Amino acid sequence: MKLELLGKKLGMSQVYDADNNLVPVTIIEAGPCPVLQIKTVEHDGYNAVQIGYNPNGKSPNKTNACANGHAKKAKTETQQVSQEFRLDDDHEFKIGTNITVDDFKSVEKVDIVSKTKGKGFQGVVKRWNFGGGPASHGSMFHRRGGSYGLCQWPGRIFKNKKMPGHMGDKSRTTQNLKVVKVLPEKNILLIKGSVPGHKGCIITLRIAKKTTQKG
């Protein structure tokens, strides 16, 4: 069964596992995510479920009439973030019901989609790990990228050339992260592995696609 959940990265901690080993974990506050809309092939051309998430308790007075009306149809509160995921023909979702971390109790591994930390405009040394030039005085070549263009032919810079530019703030998917513990009463998931993004960023959490789940 396909299952996704929206959440927020809170930070890192460490817990002891069953073998008394200290395990570093990322704390994720996920859900509850109400089902706002169910899309079908007959009406929309594909099968999908649209879910919402309200991480900061956004007031309905601070949202537009479209968002309020959309949530009112589903008989839920206005959601700050909404997202959809594709489905097969058979599913058990109903409009207005909530998807929570409790649904991930039997899941061993998950995939997490988020945006990486934005680092602004960076040079080639930080962005591409260039070695740079001599550090001594007078070299005039310290952290530059060197020659980029070609002279008469082709008279331009080839695509995908490693140059200074914007770094980070891109969507990344980390696969097969282990679910260490689920705390349904606090809507918390403890995940072992690298979770992209800064503290407080919105993430998408789904059942791992490339791992056979047990149970």
Whole-number Å distance between alpha carbons of 94 and 84: 14
pTM summary value: 0.82
Whole-number Å distance between alpha carbons of 210 and 105: 19
Architecture of domain 4-118+170-207: Beta Barrel (2.40)
Q: Which SS3 state, helix, strand or coil, does residue 178 take?
A: strand
Whole-number Å distance between alpha carbons of 44 and 33: 22
Q: Please give the pLDDT value at position 210.
A: 85
Amino acid at residue number 199? K
State the span(s) of the chain assigned CATH 2.40.30.10.
4-118+170-207
Give the tens place of pLDDT for each residue, 117-127: 999 999 999 99
Give the tens place of pLDDT for each residue, 62-95: 778 888 888 888 888 888 889 999 887 777 788 9
Q: Please give the pLDDT value at position 66.
A: 87
